[in-house]
Amino acid sequence: MSQERIERELSSLRDGGIVAELLTQASRPVVLYRGVPTGGAPLSLPATTDVIVPVPDGYPAAPIDLAGLPTGSPLLSRLRGGQNNQGNVTADGRNWQLASYHPHSNGGGPPYDPQLHGFHTYLDQLIAWLHRID
Amino acid sequence: MQDVTVHISKPQWSTLAPHLFSRYPNSEWATWLEFGWRASADSLALAVRHCDLPRAGELDDAVAHVAFQEPYSLRIALQAEKHPFAVGVAHSHPKTCLPIASSIDDDMDGYYSDYLSGFTGDRPYPSLIFSEVDGEVIGSGRVWRSGRWHPVTRIVLEGRAIPTWVAGNPPIEKPILEKRVARLSGAMGRRAAQRLRDARIGVVGAGGTGAPAIEILARAGVGHLIVVDPDTVDHSNLERVHGAYESDVARNRSKVEVARDHVRAIDPEISLTGLVGRIPQPQVVDALAQCNVILGCTDQQHSRLALNEIALRYCIPVIDTGVTLEGTDGQVNAQIIQLLHLAAGSACVVCRGMVDWKRIGQELMNPEEQLRRRNAALEARQRGEDPHGYWDDLPQLNTVGYLTTAAASLAAGCAIGLVTGAFSSGFERAQWTYFATPIEALAWHEHRNSHCFCARIEGVGAQCPEEQMVNCPAHWQAVRAV
């Protein structure tokens, strides 16, 4: 894991007012994005949510993939891949469920390129995902 | 410090040498340099990253020796506060004069090592001397680090070490086995045999291609081999791995141990550093950073990319091999060997479009996650859904011993050419299609993408960690030396 690179990426998000942090003390290293907007409000679902994204082994050569919401989040059953549990993570004192969300592998986003993409650009994918609610 | 190696790439040397020798034969000249560096407990590797040549008037051209003017040193020192690299000096001695530090040199190094520490903290301060004696460039150097001087033990120009005087003494040459290498000496000269004996060559991967390459290099008399591989020998390797036997499979021996014993049987005087591990694990990179040349003999994409990063960061040429054998129903229709010469100034594997990031991600995943994703892909297929997001099956690459040995021979030959200076491979990428009619041989040049990360990491050493593409997964086992 390139901690220096991830911190640089998250720093660029923080400059724009986004709260995101690298958690290395979790059951696996993750990036936690706080208060990410969703399209849930008109459906009486949370308008924002915290999201975790696992740091892949060998990052950045290994592509970023998946996304996790707090276990029990009402959004999970309404989001693409949310019902397909891809593992559980303990981070930030909470339990999280990883959804089957693969934006860089034919999942709606561009093919992964570590020279273009990172945890700063992944936020765009997350926001798009959280606005496509069934 | 046991090993202090300075690497200089061909592009940097083409700037440095004409400048240093511009007042030859009688007068010296100098320049400040930036170095990438990597320190371990017993070694230091330095790579020349940038020659910060003097501007008009920044060196005193009224005297024959080197006299830095204060604005030059101040300019370099202030720049050093803004980057993480080591800063040092290189200067020439007059033609035919040995590169032994004079009392003026001692004063200069004493002054600048102290002066620069106020700007660079505990970064090394290297000082190099070059001169031309009997038509050959020779050198010496020392590095101020942790409160004392360490002699430079080797200066390597694009794979070929120049005669390096160490602490005022002439280069120590390892004894060569004259009778054994008589044919090689006859063809390339005795100097070539000596250079091979004094060389250090890394081989990453000790399987089908690595094992024969190691054998060829050992028989050629290479004095020090560094062999890296994480795996043990299994039955399917015995068709290709030179020196491996059924008994090695039964004893679950590592490929590195097999290579070590095979090399010892060929020539017990060869030093072999065997590391059961992977690149870029730090202990492995520490050892490889001391090499003249590295051979890449793995079929893992992350290894190829990590090796390319080492080639660029430490200015060490890498010859990477690839072998493909394709066929169906008992008919072979393609047998291809490809070699890449990865070096400073050339396109990297990313520029060349040879990297599949998803495959690298799969290679680097821990085994539990690999299994979980394979199962998820299987279930997706059963549901009639796209399994691509979970896992892409990697094709099993089939190959045979004659092909891997041929590839190894070509790669080892390239390394021998680089180390001895007797010939140059002359290609950046070359491909041989065997048993076509006629046998095809292609070589081509590929352009570097100026926006690619490779343009930013040349000669940076271990600095700029945020630019490192391949990082070690936590699940990899620790490196084991054998």
Quote the pLDDT of residue B397: 77
Per the CB < 8 A criterion, the answer to whether B230 and B477 are in contact is yes
| Sequence-distant (≥ 6) Cβ neighbours of residue A128 within 8 angstroms | A103, A108, A109
Per the CB < 8 A criterion, the answer to whether B168 and B209 are in contact is no
d(CA B446, CA B348): 9
d(CA B472, CA B465): 12
Domains, chain B, ordered by start: 3-165 (3.40.140.10), 182-358+397-481 (3.40.50.720)
Q: Do B389 and A102 touch (CB under 8 A)?
A: yes
CB nearest to A61's CB, from B360, B376, B452: B360
- Closest chain A C-alpha to B471 CA, distance in angstroms: 4
- Residue % of chain B over a pLDDT of 90: 89
What are the chain A neighbours of B388 within 8 Å (beta carbons)?
102, 105-106
- pLDDT tens digits, B362-385: 999 999 999 999 999 999 999 998
Q: Do A100 and B360 touch (CB under 8 A)?
A: no
CATH number at residue A121: 3.10.110
Per the CB < 8 A criterion, the answer to whether B204 and B155 are in contact is no
What are the chain B neighbours of A57 within 8 Å (beta carbons)?
364-366, 369, 473-475
CB nearest to A2's CB, from B350, B369, B466: B466
Q: Do A59 and B471 touch (CB under 8 A)?
A: yes
Average pLDDT of chain B, as a whole number: 95
Residue B282 reports pLDDT greater than 90: yes
Average pLDDT over residues B425-443: 84
C-beta atoms surrounding B197 within 10 Å: 20
Q: Do B365 and A4 touch (CB under 8 A)?
A: no
Q: Do B357 and A63 touch (CB under 8 A)?
A: yes
- Which stretches of B55-135 are assigned E, i.e. beta strand? 86-92, 125-133
Cα B161 to Cα A107, B164, B192, B195, B221: the distances in Å are 51, 8, 11, 7, 16
- pLDDT tens digits, A56-82: 999 999 999 999 999 999 999 999 999
CB nearest to B376's CB, from A1, A61, A86: A86
Residue B436 reports pLDDT greater than 80: no
Per the CB < 8 A criterion, the answer to whether B267 and B291 are in contact is no
CB nearest to A57's CB, from B364, B388, B467: B364
- pLDDT tens digits, B161-190: 999 999 999 999 999 989 999 999 999 999
Domains contained in chain A, number: 1
pTM exceeding the 0.90 threshold for the entire prediction: yes
- Closest chain A C-alpha to B347 CA, distance in angstroms: 15
- Residue % of chain B over a pLDDT of 70: 100
In a mutational test of the A interface, the residue from B360, B365, B452 whose CB has the highest number of chain A CBs within 10 Å is B360
What are the chain B neighbours of A5 within 8 Å (beta carbons)?
465-468
Quote the pLDDT of residue B463: 97
Walk along chain A (134 residues) and give the pLDDT tens digit of each residue: 789 999 999 999 998 889 999 999 888 999 999 999 999 999 999 999 999 999 999 999 999 999 999 999 999 999 999 999 999 999 999 999 999 999 998 888 999 999 999 999 999 999 999 999 98
What are the chain B neighbours of A113 within 8 Å (beta carbons)?
357
What are the chain A neighbours of B376 within 8 Å (beta carbons)?
84, 86, 100
Q: Do B365 and A87 touch (CB under 8 A)?
A: no
- Which stretches of B134-270 are assigned E, i.e. beta strand? 136-145, 148-151, 154-157, 160-162, 164-165, 200-204, 224-228
Residue B425 — very low, low, confident or very high, per pLDDT cuts 50/70/90?
confident
Q: Do B471 and A61 touch (CB under 8 A)?
A: yes
Q: For residue A40, what are the domain limits? A: 3-131
Q: Do B390 and A100 touch (CB under 8 A)?
A: yes
Q: Do B357 and A114 touch (CB under 8 A)?
A: yes
Residue B9 reports pLDDT greater than 80: yes
